[in-house]
Structure 1
């Protein structure tokens, strides 16, 4: 079912349907501030598997989206100061941080070696859903090897009936992927250059390193 979140009535119905679907272990497609994402409850292993199966191709552990900065403290055993500074500066926004997650978490995102890539997106629809569902495993809403979906309708063309609710909010205004920073080593390192430029990151964390190819 596709809901046009540009209509207030359809937005309310769509968000309610998406929240219910996630809590039932089903998949949803929702807008973010980068591209549309396909999401599932991060703590429901069969839902995460369904997400990866829907995308097809090579399976890599999906990142996790959260609806508030405070949620991060519940996921991470010990958050480095550099991570706190980056989150304060760039969340909600197009910055993904890789941190060591708490060993007590009961989730199965794949072979992550005890780490998780986490982000708080700057999109009101996504945040409204995430604040009710809790952390969601989310990947770009397209089949592996196909173009990223810039609308929910484009995502539906690829993912069809594998997704319970599609939330349409119009074309992505700035479909640049998030910048990814690894904070699990001795020094913060950029793994992928994206919407947040390296110079802006260094304004906050001067010793951040540029990874290979960045």
Structure 2
């Protein structure tokens, strides 16, 4: 039996969400079950079912909260910068920080098959929050530089930046950088380079992204 717990009315719901995330972080999402949550909380096996009819409903709540926190952090990073380009770069930095500091949550959000958004609309809305924040910043950058064309162009640029950040986060989480033999300085500079490249594409007369790059691989062996 799990720990004895005295929870106020409605407290089982919040405790179940917290315990579910703890199970995922400690043992992996495969080990999550409502019965295990109840056991760890020290409540009856039926108690969590009052709030979550299935395991998927509990999982959707956990994932939604992870996305909500992620989106809030990206928004906060952008709001801390007065200028558009530094705001985008701050969002990129915060993206990688979240992935590094909350690896289990990040993997749950992006490396696990999510519950269907049609069935869990609140989760879907929270999941889109982070991308909307990035898309909004990219769209403002487009408008700032006089690009008033279809919003789909901002969609494409935002998705490109998102994919870049996700790729970097994945490489860092799996420590692939050691296998690739890439200079760590390259990874550190990559978010800035991605955003500078976008700015250069919008205003080519202002910025040459090649001047901001770091040599990807170490010096060539002697005689090569």
The TM-score bracket by the shorter chain reads under 0.3
TM-score (norm 1): 0.26
With a CA cutoff of 8 Å and minimum separation of 6, indicate the structure with the bigger relative contact order: 1
TM-score (norm 2): 0.25
More strand by share: 1
